[in-house]
Amino acid sequence: MIDSAILDRFAALLGPKGFVTDVDAIAPWVSDWRGRYHGTAPALLAPASAAEAAAAVALAASTRIPLVPQGGNTSMVGGATPPADGSALILSLRRMNRIRSLSAEDNLAVVEAGVILSDLHDAAAAAGRRFPLSLGAKGSATIGGLVSTNAGGTQVLRFGTMRALVAGVEAVLPDGTLFDGLSALRKDNRGYDLTQLLIGAEGTLGVVTAAALRLVPAATDRAVAWVGLDTPHAALALLRRLEAALPGGIESFELIPADSLDRVLRHIPGTRAPLAGAHRWHALIELVGDDARARMEAALAAALAAGLGADAAVALNQAQEEAFWRLRHSISEAERASGPAAQHDISVPVAAMPDFLLAAATTIEAEFPGTDASGFGHLGDGNVHFHVRAPAGAPADWANGAGKAASARVHDLVTAAGGSISAEHGIGQMKLDELERLADPARLATLRAIKQALDPRGIMNPGKLVRLASEPPRP
Amino acid sequence: MIDSAILDRFAALLGPKGFVTDVDAIAPWVSDWRGRYHGTAPALLAPASAAEAAAAVALAASTRIPLVPQGGNTSMVGGATPPADGSALILSLRRMNRIRSLSAEDNLAVVEAGVILSDLHDAAAAAGRRFPLSLGAKGSATIGGLVSTNAGGTQVLRFGTMRALVAGVEAVLPDGTLFDGLSALRKDNRGYDLTQLLIGAEGTLGVVTAAALRLVPAATDRAVAWVGLDTPHAALALLRRLEAALPGGIESFELIPADSLDRVLRHIPGTRAPLAGAHRWHALIELVGDDARARMEAALAAALAAGLGADAAVALNQAQEEAFWRLRHSISEAERASGPAAQHDISVPVAAMPDFLLAAATTIEAEFPGTDASGFGHLGDGNVHFHVRAPAGAPADWANGAGKAASARVHDLVTAAGGSISAEHGIGQMKLDELERLADPARLATLRAIKQALDPRGIMNPGKLVRLASEPPRP
């Protein structure tokens, strides 16, 4: 437990709005949204400014109190859930929610960590620009978390992950000093790139308090299509053909197997299939640019005539576009409604993904009788979410019990294919053991050396991403 | 001096081709190409493979012999020159010059560190692709050095610096372990991005032995234009107008003041001015895409009619295009021929550059009588090479003597403007004192902590980029 005299010092530093101990007020923030990790915290710190955040971290450093940085609490890997023993405080960035500046001419926004992604989308749109990163949790996920996890989403194909969109960050380092890397220089070769180091560090090397983000011109026209396909190989061939026919315009290419679509139609009210017939695989495709609908229709007609795809529909209006996308974004929710499953956010080289998808599903289903496996998601990035559904009658926490063996096997297959056991969700606490089991020792040693050098007291999000030699494994 | 028994061990490890002690053979590699830094080395190590490089670094680590990684030896900041006391060995990567793979379909090449940039250009072209980074030293500069310095060049406007083009690296870490980060995953969130950390680290955290590099489709058509202008403000306005009129196609926009052009015409044989009249500023612009010449002509005609530019010429054929580019690439050579100068590779936010250029030149010329200052280069990146020419009669090494005060003043002005004292050339040994004088203490402390953690023996390119607390300042 944390000494109450120390808690009093945090309270005095941050004031009543910035220091929350009410159990009901804290309750939403001590468990992850998927309900897999449950922690506890004697207080939630909510600084209102970078200076307050720096002061809070400095106090934590001097008193050796661990901090768990948190934004919208939408981590898929328990990355923002405090430990169960109440030994850490939550450091919430949600009160730091100002868009400090947004320049259409410079295509740049300087945004505080607590700004919600969809709010940034709206602000950019009001200025005739876009922030081209989006994902299912956009109504809750915050910029600080998106930067700290190098978030991906559905537009990586064209614009890259968060890493490609961050021009600079402001962050509080583990000793409480404020690092100001916001100056948005297009070129700056003054040594190791600390901004790049903080991107994807999951709050273990400091707390991102603001970021300078790149904007792109607003979309002119947009077209969303749904295509039925026989194999993931046909889907990749279709993607390559469309990229050649519509250069630079394809922003999303999502692969969805029949079982995922069926589950959505069964569990999510108001959804319906875009195509009349049954198909084993589906692709959801978004094109942006002048005359997008006409060009999409022409390119798809030619592709179908060439045998790449069995049937296709282009959404006729915005409502239909949103309905298509809702099918994709509802997969996780439908999955949860339909029973326990072990989920894996994995990547392999793009060209290897179709074979991998089929072979991995076959292997897992054969080795773990009664399971049912498939992957969906960002085919063009070589990244799918590969789910192994529990056998009938399995307990709700199957994924954390018997399902662990299946997960380990999925990760073995990915590693053997030269892939990553975390494509976009990060490591958090969920994948830490697997990272230690499977990572190249040189990589692991370097991660630990960096953590030890920059956070020698181990106060920044301990138990997530990297474990120091002195830290015992989790029970 | 290094003990001869230790040298014998390196010789036994690398064989006669990989261990060079002949003074004449080493001579080209112990001074920098600009002739400003002169070192000495008892031997040059030239491993033929990553395994040999790893073994050499492991031996250096166990015997605590410092290594100076070197590629084409084209550093602008003495970053590859060994120390004068003979205490270090040169680790040349030039024998590792294989293109391991090049896939047009995947838009990816895996290239060893010693491959010369123009050789990669040729190999990509043969496959119908481009590697979209180029610079004056392309006939000598190697991939390892370009990665290790996060090189920029003339296409950053469209494609970004080397950092944006590297999909992964293979590197020998300071303890001699080989880090294999070549697997070109488009998404991989397994902790701190070591590839990003090695890019721009100037060989101080390890030696890059190979890189996976992104390719882009071959250029269809190309147009190169030369525009005469009154002010740098008009140049930036012209750039913004052309970007709007020709979206995505402007690859280069180089600003050249009249004095730089005059110096080229005076000192470089066979050059001639592209425009008949005299102009205070010039822009060299390259557009890539279908019908580039016709579209460039139309866009420039409209821009000139709107008062953005005084006169313009579009190159009629490839020979003329190369002649335009030769003017730009000859500026450094003409500068050297015309007398001593202090050179500064600086960046500020793009929108601030026109004012900065004029104000900085005025300030420097007023405070350092007899000097003559101007900047040229990558206006669209907010990066210029700002040169201060010595007063008449100054000694050849003016830049390292009396000129140092002018350089410090330039760096003060850049820092006050929120800019960088090294936009693309890096820190090397030339700018180390200035980095320590001007950098944010939080940034400096973090650089040192990372260096100490990953290279605790201090054997990787000591005296460059970052100095540990235990290292004395250079005399």
Per-residue pLDDT tens digits for A40-89: 999 999 999 999 999 999 999 999 999 999 999 999 999 999 999 999 99
Residue A271: the pLDDT is 96
Q: Boundaries of CATH 3.30.70.2190 in chain B?
A: 222-332
- Residue A470: the pLDDT is 63
- The torsion region of residue A128 among left (phi > 0), alpha (psi -120 to 50) and beta comes to left
| Distance from the B269 Cα atom to the nearest Cα atom in chain A, whole angstroms | 33
Report the pLDDT value the prediction gives residue B475, as an integer from 0 to 100: 37
> Could you read off the pLDDT tens digit of each residue along chain A, which spans 475 residues?
899 999 999 999 999 999 999 999 999 999 999 888 999 999 999 999 999 999 999 999 999 999 999 999 999 999 999 999 999 999 999 999 999 999 988 889 999 999 999 999 999 999 999 999 999 899 999 999 999 999 998 889 999 999 999 999 999 999 999 999 998 788 999 999 999 999 999 999 999 999 999 999 888 799 999 999 999 999 999 998 998 888 878 999 999 999 999 999 999 999 999 999 999 999 999 999 889 999 999 999 999 999 999 999 999 999 999 999 999 999 988 988 889 999 999 999 888 999 999 999 999 999 999 999 999 999 999 999 999 999 999 999 899 899 999 999 999 999 999 999 999 999 999 999 999 999 999 999 999 999 999 999 999 999 999 998 665 544 3
DSSP letter string, B32-43: -TTS--B---S-
Q: Which two tokens stand for residue B120?
A: 């990669």
Distances A220 to A155, A287, A291, A389, B227 between C-alpha atoms, Å: 16, 10, 8, 41, 31
* CB pair distance less than 8 Å for A187 and B454: no
CATH 3.30.70.2740 placement within chain A: 339-433
Q: Could you give the angle at the alpha carbon of B245 between the alpha carbons of B243 and B248, nearest 5°? A: 45
Closest by Cα among A10, A151, A167 to A71? A151
- On chain B, the residues whose CB falls within 8 A of the CB of A450 are 192, 197, 450, 453-454
Cα–Cα distance for residue pair A468/A194, rounded to 1 Å = 21
Axis-axis angle for helices A353-367, A232-245 (nearest 10): 160
Q: Are B389 and B372 in contact (CB under 8 A)?
A: yes
List of chain A residues whose C-beta atoms are within 8 Å of the C-beta of residue B240: 105
For CATH 3.30.465.10, the residue range(s) in chain B are: 99-217
Q: Judge contact between A89 and A45, C-beta under 8 A.
A: yes
Per CATH, the architecture of B339-430 is what? Answer: 2-Layer Sandwich (3.30)
Contact between B449 and A453 using a beta-carbon 8 Å cutoff: yes
- For residue range A129-177, list pLDDT tens digits in order: 999 999 989 999 999 999 999 999 888 999 999 999 999 999 999 999 9
> Which residue matches tokens 């209006």?
A317
| Residue B339 region by backbone torsions, left for phi larger than 0, else alpha for psi between -120 and 50, else beta | left
Round the CA-based radius of gyration of chain A to a whole number and report it: 23
Two tokens, residue B312: 């313009």
Are A239 and A196 in contact by the 8 Å Cβ rule? The answer is: no
User: Shortest CB distance from B196 goes to which of A156, A193, A381?
Assistant: A193
The amino acid present at A442, given as its one-letter code, is A
Please tell me the total number of residues recorded for chain B in this structure: 475
Distance CA B464, CA A173 (A): 25
Q: Which of A178, A183, A190 sits opposite B435 (nearest CB)?
A: A190
Q: Would you say domain A4-92 falls under CATH 1.10.3720.10? A: no
A450 to B454: CB separation less than 8 angstroms, yes or no: yes
Quote the CA–CA distance of B286 and B106 in Å, as a whole number.
26
CB contact under 8 A, B189 and A150: yes
Q: From the centroid of its chain, how far is CA B196? A: 17
Contact (Cβ atoms closer than 8 angstroms) between residue B49 and residue B447: no
| DSSP-assigned letters across all residues of B56-106 | HHHHHHHHT--EEEESS---SSSTTPPPTTS-SEEEE-TT---EEEEETTT
Residue of chain A whose Cα is closest to the Cα of B446: A454
Separation of CA A337 from chain center: 21
Q: Give the one of B190, B443, B452 whose C-beta lies nearest to A435's C-beta.
A: B190
Residue spans of chain B under pLDDT 50:
473-475
One of 2.100.10.30, 3.40.50.150, 3.30.450.30, 3.30.465.10 is the CATH number of B99-217, namely 3.30.465.10
* Helix, strand, or coil (residue B289): coil
A244-258 in b/e form (b: 16+ CB < 10 A) is: ebbeebbbbbbbbbe
Are the beta carbons of B197 and A201 separated by less than 8 Å? no
Long-range contacts of B317-322 (CB under 8 A, 24+ apart): B320/B224, B321/B222, B321/B224
CA distances from A108 to A20, A125, A150, A219 (A): 34, 13, 18, 16
Domain A339-433 top-level CATH class: alpha beta
Give residues with Cβ within 8 angstroms of B416, minimum separation 6.
none
Test A450 with B453 for CB contact under 8 angstroms: yes
Name residue B2's beta-bridge partners: none
Q: In the structure encoding, which two tokens stand for residue B271, read together?
A: 């050059």
Residue range A222-332 in CATH 3.30.70.2190: yes
Q: Do B446 and A179 touch (CB under 8 A)?
A: yes
pLDDT of A469 reads 67
SS (H, E, C) chain A: CCCHHHHHHHHHHHHHHHEECCHHHHHHHCECCCCCCECCCCCEECCCCHHHHHHHHHHHHHHCCCEEEECCCCCCCCCCCCCCCCCCEEEECCCCCCEEEEECCCCEEEEECCCEHHHHHHHHHHCCEECCCCCCCCCCCEHHHHHHCCCCCCCHHHHCCHHHHEEEEEEECCCCCEEECCCCCCCCCCCCCHHHHHCCCCCCCCEEEEEEEECEECCCCEEEEEEEECCHHHHHHHHHHHHHHCCCCEEEEEEEEHHHHHHHHHHCCCCCCCCCCCCCEEEEEEEECCCHHHHHHHHHHHHHHCCCCCEEEECCCHHHHHHHHHHHHCHHHHHHHCCCEEEEEEECCHHHHHHHHHHHHHHHHHHCCCCEEEEEEEHHHCEEEEEEECCCCCCCCHHHCCHHHHHHHHHHHHHHCCCECCCCCCCCCCCHHHHHHHCCHHHHHHHHHHHHHHCCCCCECCCCCCCCCCCCCCC
Pull the structure tokens for residue A219: 């979309």
- 3 state SS of B45: strand
CB contact under 8 A, A185 and B449: no
Cβ contacts (< 8 Å) between A453 and chain B: which residues?
449-450, 452-453
Could you count the other beta carbons within 10 Å of the beta carbon of residue B128? 10
Chain A: give the shortest CA distance to residue B337, in Å: 28
- Quote the CA–CA distance of B366 and B290 in Å, as a whole number: 48
Q: Does the predicted interface ipTM exceed a cut of 0.90?
A: yes
Cβ contact (<8 Å) for A419 and B183? yes
Residue with token string 């002048």? A290
Identify the pLDDT of residue B45. 98
Please write the tens of the pLDDT for every residue from A166-186.
Answer: 999 999 999 999 999 998 788
Beta-carbon contacts below 8 Å between A and B? 214
Query: Smallest Cβ distance to A420: which of B179, B190, B421?
Result: B190
